[in-house]
Amino acid sequence: MVTTAAYTPHTAHNTHTAHTAHAAHAAHTDHTAHAPSTPTPLEAELRALAGSVPDPELPVLTLGELGVLRSVHVSGTGHVDVELTPTYTGCPAIEAMSADIEQVLREHGRHDVTVRTVLSPAWSTDDISAEGRRKLAEFGIAPPRPHTADGPVPLSLTVRCPHCGSTDTELLSRFSSTACKALRRCVACQEPFDHFKEL
């Protein structure tokens, strides 16, 4: 627990929290470029670089496809500020992701980099891109289903087997190799498979 996942009370809820968000920002570098302005060509380029980093747990996906890269800003002094959001609050991969982003940016000449972890708005499996979903399925992991109005745990829709395509699959465990996956088995082909569960 040496590297601390930063907690920034970013929220658009109200004026009260806007005050604390300011306070948290003040503890960092200048955030003059933080406004929802159009990214500069340099920022777009660095964002593409950071977004190309493979996920440490699911290397078939890039961080961009996973939807965890929130923003890349370059200040007037050339400082690069990267905002990253965890899939799960306790996701241990966040530290490896931060280190990998720092490394790739360093390799491209950017040495003054801060990678911050932000929680809000909370990441959702809906943030995974269409290309990301396709790659997951190709890798043998059933992609998450889109959210419905029913809430965060849609149990009624079937999950398709990524191996044979059958919809006749059953849940073995709600928690699999990582917190973000559930373990299922295909009744048709009998193969067990991971399902990226909806969050």
Partner 1 sequence: MTTHSASTSPSAATSAPASSTAAALPLGDDALVLSHRLGEWAGHAPVLEEEVALANIALDLLGQARVLLSLVGDEDELAYLREERAFRNVQLVEQPNGDFAHTIARQLYFSTYQHLMYGQLAASDSPLAPLAAKAVKEVAYHQDHAEQWTLRLGDGTAESHERMQRGLDALWRFTGELFEPVAGLDLDREALRERWTAMVTAVIGKATLTVPEGPQSGAWTAGAGREGLHTEPFGRMLAEMQHLHRSHPGASW
Contact residues for partner 1, defined by CB under 8 A: 1-11, 13-14, 16-17, 19-20, 23-28, 86, 88-92, 95, 98-99, 102, 113-116, 119-124, 151-153, 172-179, 183, 197, 199
What minimum distance in Å lies between the beta carbon of 69 and partner 1? 16
Which residues are CB-neighbours of 2 under 8 A, at least 6 positions away?
Answer: none
Structure tokens of 153?
């745990």
Cross-sheet strand order for the sheet of 169-173: 141-142, 192-196, 181-186, 169-173
Choose between 164 and 199: whose C-beta lies nearer to partner 1. Answer: 199
d(CA 131, CA 126) in angstroms, rounded, equals 12
Report CA dihedral (121, 122, 128, 129) to the nearest 10 degrees: -10
What minimum distance in Å lies between the beta carbon of 52 and partner 1? 20
Choose between 18 and 48: whose C-beta lies nearer to partner 1. Answer: 18
d(CA 39, CA 47) in angstroms, rounded, equals 9
Helix (H) or strand (E) holding 106, with range, is helix 93-107
User: DSSP state, 37?
Assistant: P
Choose between 135 and 144: whose C-beta lies nearer to partner 1. Answer: 144
What minimum distance in Å lies between the beta carbon of 145 and partner 1? 14
Choose between 37 and 177: whose C-beta lies nearer to partner 1. Answer: 177
What minimum distance in Å lies between the beta carbon of 38 and partner 1? 25
Choose between 12 and 130: whose C-beta lies nearer to partner 1. Answer: 12
